[in-house]
């Protein structure tokens, strides 16, 4: 392999040139790449987490950087299993939110806004399986979660065990057919040695949880989830009123102003007429 192709295989800066130019990440003299400033949590995120698995998962690095910027499936993602539930309605979503807090297992739930997954339902809930347990450990985790979910929202709610992220399976095909390229180890070793993103324990503030709950209720209303109605005193709160129809009945119309008479005049004449009126605009023309 010629030098250019060999170097291109190990180029880790070109894919993040936009971030480097914007200053959101910085290349340090020791070769490390670090985000600048503090990590921010954004209100538009649809999830509320419970006991996030900070000790063994660095999804910010493996998904947001390795997958989205370098186009590789991290070797760590091959070991990732999740228990997934699609709550039937908003009532079930809030019930599962409480359940996740009670179970003290790494989990999150919220509304489904991802364009590649919205066809699967309005809501989603995830439990992260211990990565060191492998598939057999994940299956035991699934049994534990399935029993708890069925006790809370009923046996008609399906509880599945899946591998890695939906977007990764969409891009790489069925996850049971994934094969990790041996030559990728070298490149991923370089990424691991260069990128410095600390895993932190994500505890959403009360303010963020309030915003996200509001978003959930609005999402349910837009998705025509009937259970959303009980979470509003009135839809007037969000400026929604029933449309008045005139084809079937003739409601009494309280006020019908005169349409006025169109006058042929230019803007200078309009100002002259309007400003001269006692209730007109300022005389400062």
Nearest to 108 by CA among 85, 127, 92: 127
pLDDT given at position 45:
74
E strand or H helix that includes residue 187 = helix 184-194
Nearest to 130 by CA among 164, 80, 169: 80
Mean pLDDT of the chain: 85
Instruction: Please report, for the chain, the start and end positions of each structural domain, with discontinuous segments joined by +.
Output: 46-54+81-163+201-224
pLDDT given at position 241:
74
CA-to-CA separations, 203 to 96, 103, 188, 266, in angstroms, rounded: 18, 16, 29, 62
pLDDT given at position 285:
46
pLDDT lower than 70: segments of the chain: 37-44, 52-55, 118, 198-203, 235-238, 274-285
pLDDT given at position 253:
82
DSSP state of 125: E
E strand or H helix that includes residue 217 = helix 206-222
Round to whole Å and give the CA distance between 74 and 67. Answer: 7
**Under 8 Å between Cβ of 109 and 101:** no
Query: Distance of alpha carbon 285 from its chain centroid, rounded?
Result: 52
Q: Is residue 49 classed as helix, strand or coil in its secondary structure?
A: strand
The count of other CB atoms within 10 Å of the CB of residue 55 is 10
Query: Between vectors from CA 217 to CA 58 and to CA 122, what angle results, nearest 5°?
Result: 60
């Amino acid at each position: 392999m010629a030098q250019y192709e060999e170097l291109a295989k190990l180029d880790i800066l070109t894919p993040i040139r936009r971030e480097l130019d914007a200053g959101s990440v910085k290349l340090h003299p020791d070769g490390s790449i670090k985000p600048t400033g503090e990590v921010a949590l954004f209100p538009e995120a649809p999830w509320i987490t419970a006991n996030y698995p900070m000790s063994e998962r660095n999804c910010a690095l493996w998904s947001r950087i390795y997958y989205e910027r370098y186009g590789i499936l991290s070797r760590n993602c091959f070991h990732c299993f999740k228990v997934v539930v699609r709550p039937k309605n908003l009532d079930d979503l809030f019930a599962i939110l409480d359940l996740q807090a009670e179970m003290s297992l790494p989990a999150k739930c919220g509304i489904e806004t991802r364009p590649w997954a919205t066809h699967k339902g309005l809501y989603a809930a995830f439990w992260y399986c211990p990565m060191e347990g492998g598939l057999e450990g994940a299956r035991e985790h699934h049994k534990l979660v399935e029993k708890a979910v069925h006790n809370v929202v009923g046996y008609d709610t399906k509880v599945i065990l899946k591998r890695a992220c939906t977007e990764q399976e969409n891009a790489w095909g069925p996850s049971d057919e994934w094969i990790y390229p041996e030559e990728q180890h070298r490149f991923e070793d370089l990424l691991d040695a260069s990128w410095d993103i600390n895993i932190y324990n994500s505890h959403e503030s009360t303010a963020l949880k309030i915003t996200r709950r509001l978003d959930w209720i609005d999402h349910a209303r837009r998705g025509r989830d009937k259970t959303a109605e009980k979470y509003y005193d009135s839809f007037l709160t969000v400026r929604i009123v029933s449309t008045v129809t005139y084809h079937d009945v003739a409601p009494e119309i309280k006020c019908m102003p005169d349409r006025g008479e169109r006058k042929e005049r230019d803007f200078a004449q309009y100002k002259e007429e309007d400003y001269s009126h006692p209730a007109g605009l300022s005389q400062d023309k």
